[in-house]
Structure 1
Amino acid sequence: MRFKSTLAAGVTFAALMATGAAAQSVSPVVVPDGESEAIIVTGSRIRQDPLSQSAPVIVLDQASIARTGLSSVADILQRLPSAAGGLNTKVNNSGNIGNPPDGGGVGAGSSQIDLRYLGAKRTLVLVDGIRFVNGSSASGIPSTVDLNTIPANMIERIEVLQSGQSPLYGSDALAGVVNLITKSSQEGLQAAAQFGTFRQGDGHTQDYSASYGIKGPTTSVVFGANYVKQDAVRTADRDTSRFPNPGQTSCADPIGGCSSATPNGFFSVLGGPNLTLKAPVAGRPRYDPLDPTGPNSDFKRLTAADRFNFAPLNYFLTPSERYGGWISAKQELGENVNFRVKALYNRRNSQNQAAFLPLFVGPDAGNGNLLDIISIDATNPFNPFGVTLSAGKPGEAPANYSTVRRRLVEAGQRTYSQEVNTMSLTGGFDGSFDVGTRKWYWDATAVVAFNDARQLFTGNVNAAKLATALGPVANCTGGCVPFNIFGGVGSVTPAMLAYVTFDERSRSKQELQDYTANLSGDLFDLPAGPIGFAVGYEHRYQFGSYDPDPIIAAGLGSDIPSLPARGSYNSDEVYGEIRVPLLKDTPFFHALDVSGAIRYADYSTSKASTTYTGSVLWKPVEQLLLRGSYATGFRAPSIGELFGAASRSDAPIDDPCTNVPGSPWQTSATVRANCIANGVPANGSYQEPNGGQVSVTTGGNSALDPETSKTLLFGAVFSPTWARDSGFASNLTFEANYYDIKVEGAIAPIDAAITLARCANSGDALSCGSIARTPNGLISRVNGLLQNIGEIQTSGIDATINYRSQQTSAGIFGLSLNGNFLLEYTETVPAQTGFTTTDYRGLTRGFPDQSYAKFKGTGVIDWTIADFGASVTGRYIDAVEEADGKKLDSTFYTDIQLSYTPSFLESRLAFTIGVNNVFNVDPPACFSCTGPNFDPTTYDVPGQFGYLRISYKM
């Protein structure tokens, strides 16, 4: 696609009306000198007047991005009221809670954009109108673009289409399209340096960038480089996250939440009570079988106070480092032919962190591998019980112990370090030719790109070696060192660790080859104007692979198990679009246009799909635009969803069958009967031990069908001319858009909480059959295999007000208000008979983290006079509730920024100071969230963040 400077100037003016969220660039867009030119804008491939947009598009330029003080494009986009968040660097769960239940891999350290709460995989990300390679995570095969792989200083502006548009762009564009427009030309040097930090003295962020452009008569070259370093914010350094639950002050609090895997051990053996050590023991502990907790024993009963507080050992903000370079060049080969090439390289080093490894062995350990069938031999020199603790596997005595757990503090904290390299090369030709008196435009482009990710996890345990070290001492030969799992903290020596531990190394790759060709122009004139058309073809090849460490693949790791996966697909797609002006400059019809598009896509891995859209744009008068559209869409299953191997996700869900005060087991005879039928002991002995974590097995499904969608959109834009004519404003615009989206055959697992609840409450056979329990009732697995589960229905209203004053003696004032009213969000999944519909509007899901606020809004007031500028941004998030009725109060963030651009330096230097979250508002406390007591997809890291920036423009 070819983007001209006229659009850049016009959208820049519109985008300057916003800071934290950006203004919505809606019809009419102000174009210098009142001129408009036919160009391509996201939402259509037909060149047209940008003042008459048939779809709602939000625009951010570099000034808007810089005004947020953020160094991640995704973090900026996630502030849009229409955005639902998505993965970002506030999410710290690379392996410590498992792989996510969507089959896509964690994507640790990466950032995504999710529009309309439909998931990032249903928002299509383009670069200059062309697809970009999906991210790699070294923990799976994601189906989304990592926005952190695209250098921020390469971006000229971002256009966000807030409507599904599969007929024009193909698969994935169910919720909307994010189109990153990169710099194609520049003259001279542009550079910036920024340093920011939290008031607590952590989370330091450095952001340096530079680009240089050369423009000749027929040649244009611009190249640049950037470096971003973000330091960690640790949960230990914020009051809200020092314990597993908000407001908790010790593990003895009745609310619980601390881990049963303690440094001094958890021992459920020989049918006795749950034990732990009174104090660490250097060698073998003493055990009195007649009085296990008496004076002749080193053991005591385990109490809540003995449990382990893992909360302060995590990240609130994960550390990362990104650097890279890029180049974009254009060469005119003739009067009407151009050759363009663009290349980029980006490197990301990032890290996630978890508490010391919780080592679980025994029949009720729930690992799903060898650790569950380890027997601890009587000859192990540290076994104090005098008998072999048998796991009951074939050929052994019946099981006589449930589980032994040990927090392996001697091995240090678990760290997951990622190294991700991304490269992309784009080349193509574009131009125009005359057809009679008309000009037609064409382009042909090829993209080749890849992502390569490697992850190092330190502190894992080889289950086979551990079994040998805990087994008969006669078999512990060679390099084997008998393992002391009983002696408490400090009893595991470096020699023991050296034998049983290993560094886990995993890798994933994604590749993209995309070839496109487009032709557009005008066919002939009608009384109201020319009929425009666009046609095109796309061939795409995508490959993805995930290779876990061989020890993990063999099922011998002590952390999250996973298996290798790989796959590929190719698609051939054709589309056509037409725009027909019906009426113009007549009473009640200043303009009336209709348009439509159709696309046929043939995928090698799934059924062919045909999608279409139709829209009407009506201007009764010049100041008022009304529009409506209907579109069908589809999303082909991704590589991870099709070919992803089975893995595990640890969901923070309470088992309704646990026998604790206030649980459904105690309050409902029906629940008790259904739980007993599902394998829970009838004597009520089962109590969930893991602090509410349930193992969910997730994996791909090659039988998946594409998702389909239907989108209905109605909108209105009012821009009164009297505001400009009277001198009240240089621009005043009101806009509202109603959307209704229905996704059918949505690809997802049935939520584990729904599966457990349906089994316990109604005995649903389909749900109960998806739950596996140990003989003692503990959940060893909930089946979360991906499937086309049902449908998602969402609707809402986006509303925008933009105002900018004319030049006055007191300067120029601006106001931007942008909000989203969520009217509906439901998910429907099948049961044995019928369906279950869950309404999430006004709720927070908890796992995976997501808050469905009924209203989110951003307001910006800005002021400029001479060399000075100032802005205040307010961000509001309506209150939501957790499933148990706990309320997350409404939240209002305030950001300020001051700038100085001295004219005596020819306005080449600019100095900026800003503070985000001026009033130090904490995120609302969340008990069910997997983040550190808050929802990281919706709220900010606690603390005030201040920054200084200096920028230079030649």
Structure 2
Amino acid sequence: MVGGIVAASLSMLSAPVAMAQDATVTQADESASVEDIVVIGSRIRRDNYNAPSPTQVVTREEATLQGFASTTEALQSTAVTGGTSQINNSYGGYVTNGGPGANTIGLRGMSPSRTLVLLNGRRVSPAGSRGSVGAADLNVLPTAIIDRVEVLRDGASSVYGSDAVAGVVNIQTRNNFEGVTFEGQRNEPLEANGAGGSTRLSLTAGVRADRWRAAGSVERYERDELTLRDREFTRCQTDGFRNGQDYIDPLTGQSKCYPITTTGSNGVTINTVALGVEGPPSASGARTFIGTAGVGAPGSVGTVFNRWRPNAGVAGGVPGFEGVGGPGNDLNVRDTFEDRMLNESLISPVDITTLYGEVGYDLHALGNAEVYGEALFNQRKSSQTGYRQLSLDYAKGSPLIPDSLAFSTISGDQGLNKGQDVGARAFIGFGNDHSEQEVDFGRYVAGIKGDLFLPEWRYDAYVSYSRSKSTYTSEQFLTDRMIESLDVVETAPGQFQCAELASNPGCVAAPALNAQTIRGALPQDWVDYVFRPVTGTTEFTEKVVSIGIDGPLFSLPAGRVMGFFGAEWRESEIDDTPGLDSQLGNTYNFSTSAITRGSDSVKEVFGEIEAPILVDLPGVRELTLNGSFRYTDYDSYGDDTTYKVGLVYRPIDWVTVRGTYGTSYRAPALFEQFVGATTGFLSNTNDRCNNYGAPGVNPNRVANCTAEGLAGDFQSTNSVTVITAGGADAGLAAETSTNMTVGLVVQPPLPSGWGDLAFAVDYYEIEVENGVSRTGAAQILTRCYDSNPADFAADAGFCRLVTRDAVDNSLTVRDSYVNLATDNVKGLDYTVRYRKDVGPGTALFNLAITQYTEISNKLFAEDPLEDYTGMIDNPEFTGTADVSYAWDKWRVRYGVEWIQGTDSYAYYGEDPATSDYDLATDDYWLHNTSVQYASDGWTATLGVRNLFNDNPPTISSGVYNRVGNAPLYSGYDYLGRTAFVNLTKSF
């Protein structure tokens, strides 16, 4: 879509040069003949594209030339998003709004809940699974029947209502489509042996008669799974530290693959057992076994260990076990990796079926009215593969513990042993687990539009109903079954049965604690008993009733004043019911989930006026004023008024200055208000003070952990408790914002034969007050413990959300929805377009660059603004460029996407010359090429994305979430070099 991207700033040019809406010359010229159109950002029909707001038009032809197999892929491209990170298919192992498998879009680096998605100018309601459904899932959108996508990069709450804070995306279907078209596309990643590839097959058909029309499409999209095993940069995640600070695996002499880190896909302690001696807890918070590895006897003086690994060659100390790790020792001396970890999903698989239809019938009455309707049905089936560690507690005195380990006592009951002390704890590499989602989405629209009794006035009224119904399933260890299976009696030497078998006839005894069990070879009948699917359901519905009228109000010397006025009512409802085991906290070492249930409705009236002030005067070829307003009244948050004022000024024919200023209002989404109170747990490895005395640790973290009285070799033995809840009962307020854009468009007349040149630059500012957000528990911990020691001591900033228990040093993080004090985004968009006839055809060059001058926020009013511009995941500059040449039936294209390098050293107080962390990325380039041949009734397009197989840049662990060794950032390509072919046949 790069060819269409330049329309972001050029689309407001006069109609004869509005060909920027499409990359092909023929279609560009045809666009000039359109008489009555409504461009996104305004409700007023125009005979040209003059508009005060910058709009971007993306065509299906350019999407095909770039190799995008779906609307989702095109909308999440760097050219559309400006390089800001999006929730895509690489987030399957993370908790995201909309649940696993959902794809969303957030413009200007803001959350998806601040970008409104429309289909044919009408809202697309949220879809997804789990309680946090609050934004449109791009997966529900059709692809085959789409004509273009219009992107407004400007606040527009006064025009479109809540959510249009950062911008609006409107998907426009093909009007008046006739005939039948078959289309097929295959994208084949060449570096992953086809893994991660995608296929789309579609049929589009349309018919017309004198008084009626009908069109529709049916399509099937499938994406194959891409695992960590399939890409080189994810097969061996390392610490990635500089100055030789990686942990070196003694087995290979190289940096250890998948060590224990706190950021992204990483290793975990497996194949070990925790043992302890009778007595009080040690300084690190747990009883520890003292003795030399394989030599010392229980209680003897020597090395302190709290993990032991099976080793049949050890006869002394603890026979059959060697010590692997304890206070002061690197955790990575333990086993942290096994081959099944590479089965985890890097890009999750999905199957999507989409049916879309639209009809219209001319009544020849009610003002030449047309009755129209739309229907969209979409089903998504997605899944993810993960990896699970099983921490299995054996009670003191259990017959499952061998006599050689009977001396051990670790601590009190941790929940599996009916109040008894834990005798031994096995850390087992359980293997892969699976999650699945099935989301059925339906959207139905019925309306009527026609002429009013007033000359040139038209009306349009419609009702719509949308429903997302999903089921989501994950495999979980059930705590109650684990408890019963560990409470056993020995029926014969080496044979066990559940002690309460009479009351639990299906109970299967847990395996005995031995080397085989510790290594993860578990009896299948026991696994089938304790490891069960847990299924929840989510339903989201939205109803809309809307009416609008538009036409000329009166005339001024410079032309007619046009107006649009309307009213709308919307009601939304969410009902998420997690599986009963999840609600009751019966999922072992996994979060609990409460029911999310709530509704809200809003009534709105709105209007827009456009007035030509001056025209055809010296120094003023055009001066046009546009203004809009909206009164909003929510059941939940009361009423408010938003407005927007825009100005278009052309001093001469080929220079245009434009600008807008407006306000926005966003009531918190239903899940932000009502998401059920949830208590979850993060691994104890997320405690940022673990082993903080080791070399290379952030000095701020060292000072803050020391201030809490923790030893440098501190190791937490407690999970991190994370408490989340909706904000409705905690005074969560609606967020407000202001939005300003100022732009310049220049299209100088060139000498004959020199071609056509256009340039545009737009400056934008978005400032959100009381922004609704959750930071994320891991991020809260990092930003607290790496903060300035003075702020830490004052319990300021993010440290207000963290508490540490004075007795056992356990952490609790409160990560509920709150109102951020400020959230700012500022920057500039630059676009250049040049077209020239060369030889038998036409050459076209496009360049689009986005610059962020500020991406900042603060949690509390008294905190300083923190600017993340230019840091990892927030590049200052991104750009796209392409050159194409079209002649006869051929078209060739070459495109480049660019993401500027990033650097986070200064923010974390690190000197890049001496730091052990790698906190910088180089510039990233993606090259794409394609060729297209169009003959009578059929078209073939072939190309390659990521032509030079550029891998994502790498960073070190410990700061940012990673995929393998790369940042978790949607702007980077994880698939590698990918060939694609698209074939269409029309009748």
Indicate the TM-score class for this superposition, using the shorter chain for normalisation. 0.7 to 0.9
Q: Hey, what does 1:447 align to over in structure 2?
A: 464
1:221-620 alignment, distance < 5 Å: 221-245=214-238, 253=255, 256-257=259-260, 261-267=268-274, 269-270=276-277, 271=287, 272=289, 273-276=304-307, 278-279=309-310, 292-293=317-318, 296-302=319-325, 304-309=332-337, 312-334=342-364, 336-355=368-387, 357-360=388-391, 376-382=395-401, 384-386=405-407, 390-391=411-412, 404-409=425-430, 412-435=431-454, 438-458=455-475, 460-471=476-487, 473=489, 475-477=499-501, 478-484=505-511, 486-487=513-514, 488-558=518-588, 559-620=590-651
**Alpha-carbon offset, residue 486 of structure 1:** 3.5
Q: Counterpart of 1:824 in structure 2: which amino acid?
A: E
Q: Counterpart of 1:190 in structure 2: which amino acid?
A: T
Matched-pair identity in %: 22
How much is the aligned-residue C-alpha RMSD, in angstroms?
A: 3.1
Quote the Cα distance in structure 2 between the aligned partners of 1:534 and 1:471.
Answer: 73
**Alpha-carbon offset, residue 317 of structure 1:** 1.8
Distance 1:214 1:144, change over 3 A: same
Q: Hey, what does 1:931 align to over in structure 2?
A: 963
Quote the Cα distance in structure 2 between the aligned partners of 1:841 and 1:265.
Answer: 43
Distance 1:925 1:658, change over 3 A: same
Q: Hey, what does 1:49 align to over in structure 2?
A: 47
Quote the Cα distance in structure 2 between the aligned partners of 1:59 and 1:526.
Answer: 31
1:205 to 188, 198, 207: 198
1:869 to 891, 897, 900: 891
**Alpha-carbon offset, residue 659 of structure 1:** 3.1
Quote the Cα distance in structure 2 between the aligned partners of 1:667 and 1:701.
Answer: 32
Q: Hey, what does 1:158 align to over in structure 2?
A: 149
Q: Hey, what does 1:792 align to over in structure 2?
A: 823
Contact kept in structure 2, 1:476 and 1:482, CA below 8 Å: no
**Alpha-carbon offset, residue 77 of structure 1:** 1.8
Which ranges in structure 2 are unaligned for 5 or more consecutive residues? Answer: 20-27, 241-245, 278-286, 290-303, 326-330, 490-497, 909-916
- Indicate yes or no: 2:155 matched with 1:132: no
Contact kept in structure 1, 2:198 and 2:221, CA below 8 Å: yes
2:766 to 736, 741, 748: 741
Corresponding residue SS for 2:658: strand
1:93-108 alignment, distance < 5 Å: 93-94=92-93, 97=94, 99-100=95-96, 104-105=97-98, 107-108=99-100
Contact kept in structure 2, 1:708 and 1:744, CA below 8 Å: yes
Quote the Cα distance in structure 2 between the aligned partners of 1:249 and 1:392.
Answer: 34
Q: Counterpart of 2:884 in structure 1: which amino acid?
A: D
Distance 1:397 1:158, change over 3 A: closer
Corresponding residue SS for 2:61: helix
2:112 to 110, 120, 128: 120
**Alpha-carbon offset, residue 604 of structure 1:** 1.2
Once the two structures are superposed, residues 807-838 of structure 1 have per-residue CA deviations (whole angstroms, 9 ceiling, x without a partner) of x434110000011011111111228xx31422
Distance 1:471 1:772, change over 3 A: farther
Quote the Cα distance in structure 2 between the aligned partners of 1:338 and 1:713.
Answer: 37
- Indicate yes or no: 2:753 matched with 1:727: yes
1:33-112 alignment, distance < 5 Å: 35=33, 37-79=35-77, 80=79, 82-94=81-93, 97=94, 99-100=95-96, 104-105=97-98, 107-112=99-104
Distance 1:260 1:441, change over 3 A: closer
Quote the Cα distance in structure 2 between the aligned partners of 1:763 and 1:470.
Answer: 45
Distance 1:918 1:408, change over 3 A: same
- Indicate yes or no: 2:977 matched with 1:952: no
- Indicate yes or no: 2:874 matched with 1:828: no
Distance 1:646 1:84, change over 3 A: farther
**Alpha-carbon offset, residue 666 of structure 1:** 7.8
- Indicate yes or no: 2:832 matched with 1:801: yes
Quote the Cα distance in structure 2 between the aligned partners of 1:596 and 1:54.
Answer: 10
Quote the Cα distance in structure 2 between the aligned partners of 1:307 and 1:395.
Answer: 24
Quote the Cα distance in structure 2 between the aligned partners of 1:393 and 1:948.
Answer: 56
**Alpha-carbon offset, residue 25 of structure 1:** 3.0
Quote the Cα distance in structure 2 between the aligned partners of 1:111 and 1:397.
Answer: 43
Quote the Cα distance in structure 2 between the aligned partners of 1:877 and 1:923.
Answer: 11
Q: Hey, what does 1:7 align to over in structure 2?
A: none
Which ranges in structure 1 are unaligned for 5 or more consecutive residues? Answer: 1-14, 362-373, 677-681, 845-850
Q: Hey, what does 1:915 align to over in structure 2?
A: 944
Q: Hey, what does 2:847 align to over in structure 1?
A: 817
Q: Hey, what does 1:365 align to over in structure 2?
A: none
Once the two structures are superposed, residues 405-457 of structure 1 have per-residue CA deviations (whole angstroms, 9 ceiling, x without a partner) of 52343xx411111111111111100011342xx31011001111111111222
TM-score (norm 2): 0.84
Distance 1:779 1:733, change over 3 A: farther
Distance 1:683 1:177, change over 3 A: closer
Q: Counterpart of 1:66 in structure 2: which amino acid?
A: T
Deviates more, 1:619-628 or 1:47-56: 47-56
Corresponding residue SS for 1:613: strand
Contact kept in structure 2, 1:420 and 1:453, CA below 8 Å: yes
Distance 1:394 1:160, change over 3 A: closer
**Alpha-carbon offset, residue 75 of structure 1:** 2.1
Distance 1:416 1:392, change over 3 A: closer
Contact kept in structure 2, 1:125 and 1:178, CA below 8 Å: yes
**Alpha-carbon offset, residue 489 of structure 1:** 2.1
Q: Counterpart of 1:467 in structure 2: which amino acid?
A: I
- Indicate yes or no: 2:876 matched with 1:854: yes
**Alpha-carbon offset, residue 315 of structure 1:** 2.0
**Alpha-carbon offset, residue 780 of structure 1:** 4.1
Contact kept in structure 1, 2:747 and 2:757, CA below 8 Å: yes
Once the two structures are superposed, residues 12-55 of structure 1 have per-residue CA deviations (whole angstroms, 9 ceiling, x without a partner) of xxx89448998953423146476562421111111123331211
Contact kept in structure 1, 2:92 and 2:348, CA below 8 Å: no
- Indicate yes or no: 2:11 matched with 1:25: yes
Corresponding residue SS for 1:359: strand
Distance 1:395 1:735, change over 3 A: closer
Quote the Cα distance in structure 2 between the aligned partners of 1:926 and 1:75.
Answer: 25
Corresponding residue SS for 1:152: coil
Corresponding residue SS for 1:116: helix
Q: Hey, what does 2:743 align to over in structure 1?
A: 715
Corresponding residue SS for 1:662: coil
Once the two structures are superposed, residues 252-283 of structure 1 have per-residue CA deviations (whole angstroms, 9 ceiling, x without a partner) of 647943667544234153322445554389xx
Quote the Cα distance in structure 1 between the aligned partners of 2:742 and 2:824.
Answer: 17
Corresponding residue SS for 2:452: strand
Q: Counterpart of 1:25 in structure 2: which amino acid?
A: S
Distance 1:399 1:855, change over 3 A: farther
Contact kept in structure 2, 1:736 and 1:797, CA below 8 Å: yes
Q: Hey, what does 1:364 align to over in structure 2?
A: none
Distance 1:375 1:601, change over 3 A: farther
Corresponding residue SS for 2:456: strand
Distance 1:91 1:910, change over 3 A: same
Quote the Cα distance in structure 2 between the aligned partners of 1:239 and 1:776.
Answer: 45
**Alpha-carbon offset, residue 309 of structure 1:** 2.4
Corresponding residue SS for 2:853: strand
Contact kept in structure 1, 2:140 and 2:441, CA below 8 Å: yes
Contact kept in structure 2, 1:541 and 1:570, CA below 8 Å: yes
TM-score (norm 1): 0.87
- Indicate yes or no: 2:721 matched with 1:700: no
